[in-house]
Amino acid sequence: MFTRSKKVLTSVAIAMLALTTSYVIPAKAASKNVTLEFWNYWDGGNGQALAGLVKEFNAKNPGITVKPVTFPWGDLLPKLQASIASGKTPALAATDIAWMANLHASGKLQDLGAALGGVKSASSDIYPQLLTYSIYKGKLQSLPASTNNLSLFYNKDLFRKAGLNPNKPPKTWDEMRAAALAISKLGGGVQGMEIYTGVGEGLTWQFQPYLWQIGAGFLNKANTAPTFNTESGRKALQFLVDIINVDKSATAGQWGAFDKGLAGMRIDGSWMVGGYRDNAPFEFGTTALPIPAGGSPATNMGGEQIMSFKGSAASNAASIKFIKWFTSADIQARWDAKTNFMPIRASVATHPVMLQHMVDEPALKAFVNQQKYAQARPAITTYPAVSDAFSKALEPAFYGKVSVAEAMAAADAAVRKALAS
């Protein structure tokens, strides 16, 4: 969990109060036709949902044309960094929360608190943990556009075949390991579970909840040193390594078998619910992430933040108008209902559209219930390098090339180096 000093809390309060009166675009700015490029990585159903909302905004706001530009996830941050260096930034962008520290530090983002000063807004009911990525040096420079977390998906058909109760998914690490072993004995290429082992943020993002649950943590409160290379941290890694190399219930490097009905369990995000509902060749369920004996519930908080890069007066004003509209409770409720993202505001969680969506998509219940346990990744400029270094050091352990102790020691050294860079 993160903490804030009284000074930071005061800054947050001031920034949020600045979002509590109505915003009016200056007459000169409003009189100009302006096109706003909106860079993002939302594709598939999420991209279609965004396109539909943008079309609606454009129709309701003559003179403003928001134009979504979609990049692959891995390309967006480098593209934005290149645009900042060249001075040719887009008007709007929505990016992974883990990248926000770098973008805040660029000095190119609009101060939303100042731009929205005197505007009445529901921003005061944004969940506080999401503002970890919104505030920079006391300034509100971005707003949450979406949020999500990780839960356990499981294949009810394979549970039945393995003699497991499909209505009683595992609640503990030991139960999850036992279920994976039972399912793996079905044969026919079926894996007990899938464990993400590829180098990059995917591995870090999936492994951090294990560290938080067992009390090892990832970085210290100041985000200046790693805390994971402890007895409990090594126990967390050993747990997954043993599922792969001792039980043979999972295979290092494999990802995608669950989609085909060839794996019993997988940890993934709420955005997968709609796809599995429509396309999975099996009955699936979701449940909270299992926890170790004596551990505490924890999951990883994901999502995106929306921001406006400084530009002309017309561009700045139009961008603010779009951000205010897109982050409003009514639009967010519809956005979440189409994408299966989690609410960024308390008012979205109780919105009629969202309440009905929970009825229509019961598999989302696990994610909604877990949101209060979602923890924030370090909001520091070095986080991408830290995550990359951490995952590279851990990967060999999943293949049995190094011991858990060696992998964690290497990760500790690599993360310290990344933090100092």
Tokens of 361: 């998509």
For residues 216 and 227, the answer to whether their CB atoms sit within 8 Å is yes
Please tell me the predicted confidence (pLDDT) of residue 283.
97
pLDDT digits (tens, 9 = 90+) for 256-277: 999 999 999 999 999 899 889 9
Q: In Å, how far from its chain's centre is CA 250?
A: 25
Vertex 255 angle, CA 226 and 273, to 5°: 95
pLDDT digits (tens, 9 = 90+) for 25-56: 444 444 569 999 999 999 998 999 999 999 99
The CB-based long-range contact list for 415-418 (8 Å cut-off, 24+ gap) reads 415/219, 415/226, 415/386, 415/389, 415/390, 416/225, 416/226, 417/389, 418/382, 418/385, 418/386, 418/388, 418/389
pLDDT digits (tens, 9 = 90+) for 325-378: 999 999 999 999 999 999 998 889 899 999 999 999 999 999 988 988 999 999
Rounded mean pLDDT of 94-112?
A: 94
Please tell me the predicted confidence (pLDDT) of residue 32.
66
Instruction: Give the helix/strand (H/E) hosting 310.
Output: none
| Comparison of pLDDT for 167 and 27, the residue scoring more | 167
The DSSP string of 239-272 is HHHHHHHTS--S-TT--STGGGT-BSEEEEEGGG
> Domains (ranges, CATH) in the chain?
6-147+302-375 (3.40.190.10), 149-300+377-420 (3.40.190.10)
* Rounded percentage of the chain residues whose pLDDT exceeds 70: 90
Instruction: Give the helix/strand (H/E) hosting 408.
Output: helix 404-420
Burial of 5 (0-12, 13-18, 19+ CB in 10 A): exposed
| Rounded Cα–Cα distance for residues 27 and 307 (Å) | 23
Instruction: Provide the 10 A C-beta neighbour count for residue 133.
Output: 28
For 197-227, b/e burial (b = at least 16 CB within 10 A) is bebbbebbbbbbbbbbbbbbbbbeeebeebb
Instruction: Give the helix/strand (H/E) hosting 40.
Output: strand 34-40
Mark residue 289 as left, alpha or beta (left: phi above 0; alpha: psi -120 to 50; beta: remaining): beta
| Rounded Cα–Cα distance for residues 173 and 5 (Å) | 35
pLDDT band at 21 (very low <50, low <70, confident <90, very high): very low
For residues 77 and 99, the answer to whether their CB atoms sit within 8 Å is yes
For residues 210 and 290, the answer to whether their CB atoms sit within 8 Å is no
| Rounded Cα–Cα distance for residues 166 and 154 (Å) | 9
Rounded mean pLDDT of 80-105?
A: 96
For residues 285 and 265, the answer to whether their CB atoms sit within 8 Å is no
Residue type, 18: A
Rounded mean pLDDT of 130-144?
A: 90
Residue type, 118: G
| Comparison of pLDDT for 138 and 152, the residue scoring more | 152
| Rounded Cα–Cα distance for residues 155 and 233 (Å) | 29
Tokens of 155: 């294949």
In this model, does residue 416 exceed pLDDT 50? yes
pLDDT digits (tens, 9 = 90+) for 287-322: 999 999 999 999 999 999 999 999 999 999 999 999
In this model, does residue 6 exceed pLDDT 50? no
Mean confidence (pLDDT) of the chain: 90
- Tell me the sheet residues that pair with 68: 38
Cα dihedral 362, 366, 368, 373 in deg (nearest 10) = 180
The DSSP string of 128-197 is GGGGGGTEETTEE--EEEEEEEEEEEEEHHHHHHTT--TTS---BHHHHHHHHHHHHTT-TT-BS-B---
pLDDT digits (tens, 9 = 90+) for 372-414: 899 999 999 999 999 999 999 999 999 999 999 999 999 999 9
Please tell me the predicted confidence (pLDDT) of residue 129.
85
